[in-house]
Amino acid sequence: MAVVAQLARHFAPVVDSIYPPRCPSCGAAVAAQAGLCSDCWSTLEVPELAEVAGHAVPVYAATYYNETSRKLVLAYKHGGRIALSGLLARLIAARLPEPVAGRAPPLLVPVPLHRWRLWSRGFNQAALLARALERNDKGEAAVAALVRFRRTPNLGGLGREARERMLTGAIRLGPGAVARIRGRDVVLVDDVLTSGATSRACLAAISAAAPSSIAVACFARVEEDRKRPHP
C-alpha cells in the first residue's frame, strides 16, 4: 500500500493536468481530486455525536442526507466515481471512536450486494468504504462476512413494512463468518442509511454469530422528519 500511495502522489500532477480537480457536488474548481469546494463543505449537515446514544445500536453517520450528500452518493454509487470512497470514508472515520488499545480491531462488515447487482454495477460501494476505513485505521475489513443470497428489487420508495418483507431471509452469514465474528466488535458499513430495513437484516445475521458489540457506520443518514430527498 505504501508503494501505491507513493506512485499516486508522484503521478498526481499529471492526473491533475489532464483532469483538473472539480468538486464532485457542484463542479467548481478545487485544489485536489475528490475534494469538495468550500461552499459545498458548508452545506453538509453533520449529526451531533450525542445522537448516537439515542439508538439501541450506535449509528455513526458522517452527514445527514441532504442535497449535497445526495449528489455525492449519486456520483459515487451510480456515476462510477469510486475514487470518492476515500473522501466519504474519511468523513465516516471522523465519527467513529478510536479502536480500543489491547483489543482486536473492529471488523468492518459491508452491506452485501447480490451477485447480479454486483455484476451490473461493477463494485460494491459499501465494500469499498470498508476497505477505505481499514486504510484509515478504523478496523479490519471483512468484505465476505455477509452474503445476499436472494436478489431483491430496488427498495427505494417502499415503506418500512414492504422493505422488511423483501429482505426476509435475503442476507446471511458468509462461509467462515461465524468463527471470525464471534467475540469481536463489528461495525456494519453502508453508504446511506434510510429506513434501516437492510441494516436490521444485516444486524440480525451478524447477531447470530455472537459478536462482542455491533455498531452501524454510514456516510449519510436519512431522517424522515427532516424531509430529505429520497436516495
Q: Are 29 and 127 part of one and the same domain? A: no
Q: Are 96 and 204 part of one and the same domain? A: yes
Higher pLDDT, 48 or 204: 204
29 pLDDT tier (thresholds 50, 70, 90): confident
CA distance 45 to 63: 5
Q: Are 175 and 208 part of one and the same domain? A: yes
Q: Is the pLDDT of residue 149 over 50?
A: yes
Note the pTM of the prediction, 2 decimals: 0.83
* Residue 218 placed within a domain: yes
pLDDT tens figures, 33-71: 567 888 998 999 998 765 554 456 899 999 999 999 999
Q: Are 114 and 192 part of one and the same domain? A: yes
* Residue 192 placed within a domain: yes
CATH code of residue 210: 3.40.50
Q: What is the mean pLDDT of residues 170-193?
A: 94
Q: Are 36 and 74 part of one and the same domain? A: no
Q: Are 26 and 109 part of one and the same domain? A: no
CA distance 49 to 95: 7
Q: Are 21 and 134 part of one and the same domain? A: no
Q: What is the mean pLDDT of residues 159-178?
A: 78
> Which of 62-71, 135-144, 155-164, 215-224 is predicted with the least confidence, judged by mean pLDDT?
155-164
Q: Are 9 and 55 part of one and the same domain? A: no
Structural domain boundaries, residue 7: 1-43
Higher pLDDT, 151 or 146: 146
Predicted local confidence at residue 131, as pLDDT:
97
Q: Is the pLDDT of residue 137 over 80?
A: yes
Q: Is the pLDDT of residue 138 over 90?
A: yes
Q: Are 117 and 164 part of one and the same domain? A: yes
Residue at grid coordinates 442509511: 193
* Residue 148 placed within a domain: yes
Kindly report the average pLDDT of the chain as a whole number. Answer: 82
31 pLDDT tier (thresholds 50, 70, 90): low
CA distance 92 to 83: 15
CA distance 229 to 205: 29
CA distance 198 to 170: 10
Q: Is the pLDDT of residue 113 over 70?
A: yes
Q: Are 33 and 50 part of one and the same domain? A: no
Give 136-187 as a DSSP string: TTS-EE-TTSEEE-S-----TT--HHHHHHHHTTTEEEPTTHHHHHTTSEEE
79 pLDDT tier (thresholds 50, 70, 90): confident
Predicted local confidence at residue 189, as pLDDT:
97
Q: Are 102 and 141 part of one and the same domain? A: yes
* Residue 231 placed within a domain: no
Q: Is the pLDDT of residue 20 over 70?
A: no
Q: Are 181 and 160 part of one and the same domain? A: yes
What domain count does the chain have?
Answer: 2
> Which of 84-88, 97-101, 133-137 is predicted with the least confidence, judged by mean pLDDT?
97-101
* Residue 159 placed within a domain: yes
